[in-house]
Chains A and B, each alone.
Chain A
Amino acid sequence: MSDLITLPVESQKTAHIRLTLNGEQTDVSFAPYKTLLEVLREDLGHTGTKHGCELGECGACAVLQDGKPVLSCLLLAVECDKKNILTVEGLGTDGKLHPLQEAFADLGAAQCGYCTPAILVTAKALLDQNPNPSRDQIREALSGNLCRCTGYQQIFEAVEEAMVRIAGREKSAP
């Protein structure tokens, strides 16, 4: 262990967790001070989740932890042992986009796209919990995710469109 003292701090990958990342059991070792965001991006190669402010204000780093939106820049990765984490990379299934992704793409809800991954997972958490939210409930659910491009309106519409598509899909499912 004494060798570690001369190693730069980030190389001291002494922490270890096992989590379910986008449905896959994942083991990862990392420097213990790292946030979930840093471990996702730097140690697990999941760069879909973004950063924007370092203090939990912009919401660009949101991921789902056991189905609930959390800010991965404020969460230490060591706290995520045995947790179920969903990021934008895990939204689609069977090679198909999630209806939210389809609707966001179709309706112009992603402009620069930087805030999009976090908004998508946050919206998914909302629709999972409430399949038929009102415009005000959507506004409320996304109020922690800043978007500087869209003015939010096309985002609201995309969530509403996804809601309809999900309902339609479930109806037509055998």
Chain B
Amino acid sequence: MRMRDEKQMRVIGMPRRRVDARAKVTGQTRYADDIFLPRMAYCKLLRSPHPHARIRNINTTRAAAHPGVYLVLTGKDVPIEYGILPVSQDEQALCVDHVRHVGDPVAAVIAREELTAFEALDLIDVEYELLTTISDPEDALATPAPRIHDYGEEGNIHKRVSLEFGDVEQGFAEADEVFEDTFFYQGNTHLPIEQHAAVAIKDPEGKLTIWSSTQTPHYLHRALAKVLQMPPGHIRVIATPNGGGFGGKSDPFQHEIVVSKAALLLDRPVKICLTREEVFYCHRGRHPVLMKFKTGVKKDGTITGMNLQTLIDGGAYGSYGVASTFYTGALQTTTYHIPRYHFQGCRTFTNKPPCGPKRGHGTVQPRFGQEVQLDKIAEKLRIDPADLRLRIAESSNAVTANFFRLSVVNLSECIRRVVKSSDWKDKFRKLPEGRGVGLACSAYLTGAGLPIYWNKMPHSGVHIKFDRGGGVSVFCGATEIGQGSDDVLAGIVAEVLGLETFDIRLYTGDTDLGPVDLGSYSSRVTIMAGNAALQAAERGKAIIAEAVAEKLEVPKERLRFADKRVFDSAAPEKSVTFAEAVCLAEARFGTIGTMGSYTPPKSPALYKGGGVGPSPTYSYTAAVVEVIVNPATGWIAVPKIWIAHDIGRALNPTLVRGQVEGSVYMGLGEALMEEQEFRRLPKKLSHALVHKFPSMLEYKSPTSLDMPEVVTELIEEPDPRGPFGAKEVGQGPLLPIMPAVANAVYDAVGVRIDEVPITPEKIMKALAEKKAGREPRFGPSHFPHVNWPEALRVPPPWEGGDGHAVNDVPRPAKRRDEKEKVLGS
């Protein structure tokens, strides 16, 4: 990608009002539930009150006869299984014969009024045969039957992986010290303020259109085509601006399929808006993960080898879980140099709402463990934790043990910045009792290197239309979930063409209007849609320049596009307006429209499982958190956080800062209070495993009073792979917060909380242990036995590896073709 002279840029790098800001501050942004259409009917879902049961019978007669009810649907009306990953097609829009968690939908009522639909749910009679509940991974390992799904590894184990990069035992043998630590990361949920909503219509031509608060309209498009058995060309998915996503709106959901089916059957618009309780049941949030880290180090802190085991509570469905499983082991090597690495991961099914991708997807939990363990290692080796990390930080252009190719790496600079801004050296181990600082780092993907379904097509496409009046319309499947994806597109196109972002019209998130963009997940939009936009804009610029050069009789290389004009850089008075330039080009070449697309570079990770973790480039973050812990109550206050993020280039610094601070906020919520917890109802009731508090009243998240001051620094060394050098910022800055809080608590009161969230209760328990002369710690005591498969052995690059496993089972070549056929149908 072309680097530009920073001084010449007018849009990129300038703090700007985002393009959609006016709509947002005037209340005119139209979210899915703001859509009201004539003759619109309302849908409500009947959800299972049981965590695990067979459906014996459903009788909908009474509900269907209720005045105002138009339609009642059950599983047999939409029986085809779907799921976000091709390997986990395990969901049904309405359960046909098996419910797997409290909240699994079994029937739908569509009525003239929302309240009528709600009332009619009570008139549906469902007979259940209760099955044994599997409540957590240990339960799942010990209880192979009844199976929650009839696929997976065996029993209730969904996925088991073992990948070994070099001889880790040899690494431990070469170590001066070997550390073994177990950690537990409790699950939590996205809690977007907007509840999921969708409106479907059979359009006047008889095709389907659905507006939905989805982060992934393309994947929803595919799921709808499969379940409804319709040609994808007859389905239009419009992603409405999401009122927050954070990963929670990335799966195709039951309610989206149900309203589509109902709209087709009734030939009238059908709307659903989930209640907050239902949003908790949709979940797809952070997986609870138990982790064991075994790490060998030399006296100087150099890591000689690492074995990471993760036991993952997947909930009731596959969702992104296979990817999540690999992600729990993928990114350890991208921050610090680990010459030998063995990852073992196991995801189990349990009778709880399905877990999936939440900001930082699968990498957040092991990042917590790794960064807390490093703090312990630093203490034992008597090295300052910041210095230790500086010694072992990965460097630019490295290829890791697991064959991820890094691009620009500014982790060390991030560390130096927060050490300086936080006065780390004057505070660490020097603050009075009850006050402490902790440091942690992280890395994150700038876009997943592989698509969710295997294909060779671009990951993002942009189409630009040039109007005679000088207007520019940008069409792209990218989805605005609040992160500013529209502004990224507008900013890049405006910069290239010498316009203002206000001159750019955006048509995004619509499967009919724009080329495919895979969706707003994995921090991929800036680099992928951004590079596609850059290419399309440069192509348009080249065509226009050709025509203007001819007209002005100057070499086209000398032309500059700025201030809505095209001019000779050697003689700026020789110029035309941008609108005139478009007319010249249109007269010369015909109607002007250009395309751009982006496909990530090929990854050298060629082993099975190497598809999760590669990225065009990685962002880096370091954070210092200061805490005040009251030893009498265990109460934790966080007065200040310093964070430095390696962004490559901030396309719009206002938005970048917002993403960093928003990540810090969400990380702090996870660190201190947020948890998706379950409990058993009393035995005399059903004894069912239910969500402890599916409401915003009790699911605590930080308010404006809880949010500390955040000092944000951006490290801007443009990355050659990013548009104008930009890397991701939406997820990475969340990762260091939780371990930095844990490390700060240790600095403050000398107890280790090896578990998230870090609550006053846990601190009090650890303080009691300390007082009793036992290990001053709160955290898991053991890691259960898992029958790990034989490791795929991949020699790392420095041992002559070529990215393949030496013992991989050759995959039959036709498998992929078959998979494609199924997906394409």
Contact = CB atoms under 8 A, between A and B. Distances in A.
Interface of A: 6-11, 41-42, 45, 47-55, 57-58, 60, 87-89, 91-92, 97, 100-102, 104-108, 110-117, 120, 138-140, 142-156
Given A57-B697, A111-B658, A148-B191, A50 B243 contact: yes
B704 A113 contact: no
B116 A101 contact: no
Contact of B24 (A45, A105, A147, A152): A105
A53 B246 CA distance: 18
B29 A151 contact: no
B68 interface: yes
B725 interface: no
A143 B67 CA distance: 43
B21 A110 contact: yes
A139 B705 contact: yes
B701 A146 contact: yes
19 contacts: A42-B36, A47-B36, A49-B27, A50-B31, A52-B193, A55-B696, A105-B17, A106-B21, A110-B25, A112-B245, A114-B244, A120-B25, A142-B704, A143-B705, A144-B703, A148-B192, A148-B193, A153-B710, A154-B654
Q: How large is the interface on B (under 10, 10 to 19, 20 to 34, 35 or more residues)?
A: 35 or more
B36 A101 contact: no
Contacts of B275: 54
Contacts of A112: 192-194, 241-245, 481-482
Contacts of A50: 31, 193-194, 243
Given A8-B111, A53-B695, A151 B24 contact: no
A116 B658 CA distance: 14
Most B C-beta atoms less than 10 A away, residue of A45, A89, A150, A156: A150
B27 A89 contact: yes
B703 A149 contact: no
B193 A115 contact: yes
Interface string B695-729: 11100010111010110000000000000000000
A130 B736 CA distance: 38
Given A52-B243, A58-B193, 17 more contacts: A49-B27, A52-B195, A54-B276, A55-B695, A57-B697, A87-B27, A104-B24, A105-B24, A108-B18, A112-B242, A113-B24, A114-B244, A146-B703, A148-B662, A150-B665, A151-B658, A152-B707
Contacts of B27: 47-49, 87-89, 116-117
Contact of B194 (A49, A52, A87, A102): A52
B695 A116 contact: no
A62 to B, nearest CB: 12
Given A89-B26, A116-B24, A120-B25, A151 B112 contact: no
Given A52-B696, A54-B276, A113-B243, A6 B67 contact: yes
Contacts, number: 191
A53 B696 contact: yes
B26 A9 contact: no
Contacts of A139: 704-705, 707
- Of B654, B666, B696, B709, the most chain A CB neighbours within 10 A belong to B696
Contacts of B626: none
B34 interface: yes
B787 interface: no
A6 B65 CA distance: 13
Contacts of B28: 48
Nearest to B705: A143
Contacts of A102: 25
Contact of A151 (B111, B114, B245, B710): B710
A153 B707 contact: yes
A110 B244 CA distance: 11
A149 B34 contact: no
B194 A53 contact: no
B484 interface: yes
A8 to B, nearest CB: 4
The 9 closest A-B pairs by CB, nearest first: A48-B27, A112-B482, A114-B243, A113-B24, A151-B665, A105-B21, A151-B661, A88-B27, A8-B68
A87 B27 CA distance: 9
B554 to A, nearest CB: 38
Interface in B190-204: 190-195
A143 B194 CA distance: 18
Contact of A97 (B25, B190, B193, B664): B25
A60 B193 contact: yes
A124 B57 CA distance: 55
Nearest to B67: A6
Contact of A148 (B483, B655, B666): B666
B685 interface: no
B22 interface: yes
B704 A155 contact: yes
A49 to B, nearest CB: 7
A39 B616 CA distance: 49
Contacts of B246: 148
Given A87-B27, A88-B26, A108-B658, A147 B193 contact: yes
A31 B175 CA distance: 74
B734 to A, nearest CB: 11
Nearest to B483: A111
A117 B29 CA distance: 10
Contacts of B9: none
A97 B580 CA distance: 33
B542 interface: no
B657 interface: yes
B1 interface: no
Most buried by A among B27, B119, B484: B27
Given A113-B482, A114-B31, A140 B707 contact: no
B115 interface: yes
B23 interface: yes
B194 A114 contact: yes
Contacts of B194: 50, 52, 112, 114
Interface string B55-81: 000000000000110000000000000
Contacts of B705: 139-140, 143
Contacts of A154: 654, 657-658, 661
B113 interface: yes
A3 B22 CA distance: 46
A148 B701 CA distance: 9
A70 to B, nearest CB: 17
A110 B36 contact: no
Nearest to B707: A152
A73 B654 CA distance: 33
Most interface-central of A9, A55, A112, A145 (chain B CB within 10 A): A112
A18 B34 CA distance: 24
Contacts of A89: 26-27
Contact of A104 (B21, B29, B662, B663): B21
Contact of B26 (A45, A101, A152): A101
Nearest to B30: A47
A87 B28 CA distance: 12
Interface string B92-115: 000000000000000000011111
B482 A108 contact: no
A108 B114 CA distance: 36
A51 B696 CA distance: 12
A154 B695 CA distance: 27
Contacts of B112: 8, 11
Nearest to A136: B705
Contacts of A120: 25
A100 B30 CA distance: 21
B244 A10 contact: no
Contact of B193 (A48, A54, A104, A146): A146
Contacts of B703: 143-144, 146
B31 A143 contact: no
Given A114-B31, A151-B665, A97 B22 contact: yes
